[in-house]
Amino acid sequence: MRKLTLFIISDSVGETADLVAKAAASQFSQGLEAVSMKRFSHVEEDSQLAEIVYLAKEQRAIIIYTLVKSRMRKVLKKECEDAGICCIDLLGPVVDRIGEELNEQPLEEPGLVRQLDDDYFKKIEAIEFAVKYDDGRDPRGILKADIVLVGVSRTSKTPLSQYLAHKRYKVANVPLVPEVEPPAELFKIHPDKCFGLVTSPEKLNSIRRERLIALGLKDNANYARMERIEQELRYFQHVVSKLGCKVIDVTNRAVEETANVILSEIAKQG
């Protein structure tokens, strides 16, 4: 059985070329048993390219590469031509074509795709966190959160949690109800990571009445009565004064505006 050697060259980790090479080799009956791969990661110097080409010539290897810097691609291509080595550029033609279509020069910074992947997974993790620890479902999340939101019902805690999650912050939110003692975890966190959300009684009354109607219920239920709302807001003030956290009036603020206030406060703390 003939053996084939593939040299994989990258100015980053080289996972992309490695996966492509494996996918291609798997299409043959002898598959990966007949193909050996050697990866050269974080290649950034011309001298490294010359050494790799020399080894490839000795081992009759094919070079597959993903180099984001056009100058490095040209150097490698010339080295391979001079040595009579077969080389395959997986990234260059695609980058060049996209640049032509967008009329823009590429950044040519190695490893950006990994940064994007890491950023994406951080966002997904934060979104899952916000769902898991929404509405005080599990007080253990309070201690793990980057930001903790507290407030009475219908003060935009959940949509604000999701908005901040898309900014990669892990957010837990806790509803405050006079008949229910706040979770002990609330008093164990630093006040700087906790934010109280409050709105005017009139606005809360309007929102809650609309909510009841949407649920097919009468809008004069205790949940939407001014006496009940004022009782809840007094309890809210009592709790946040004990917590020592910043209180944000969200009466006339969109979720994005409230988020900006919180992020601004966090930036000051940093």
104 lies in the same domain as 118: no
Q: How many CA atoms lie within 13 A of 60 on its CB side?
A: 4
| Per-residue pLDDT tens digits for 178-206 | 999 999 999 999 999 999 999 999 999 99
- Beta-bridged to residue 197, according to DSSP, are 151, 248
| Per-residue pLDDT tens digits for 45-88 | 999 999 999 999 999 999 999 999 999 999 999 999 999 999 99
- Predicted pLDDT at 234: 97
pTM over 0.85? The answer is no
What is the average pLDDT score of the chain? 93
Contact 188, 204 (CB under 8 A): no
- Predicted pLDDT at 114: 73
48 lies in the same domain as 61: yes
| Inter-axis angle of helices 92-102 and 70-83, nearest 10 | 140
Number of domains within the chain: 2
144 lies in the same domain as 179: yes
**Weakest-pLDDT range from 4-13, 21-30, 35-44, 176-185:** 21-30
Determine the longest span between alpha carbons in the chain, in angstroms: 87
Which residue range(s) make up the domain with 76? 4-110
Separation CA 13–CA 4 (nearest Å)? 22
Mapped onto helix, strand or coil, the DSSP state of residue 174 is strand
Percent of all residues in the chain with a pLDDT value above 70, rounded to a whole number: 99
Tell me which of 90, 110, 130 is where a domain ends.
110
95 lies in the same domain as 177: no
Output the domain CATH number for residue 150. 3.40.50
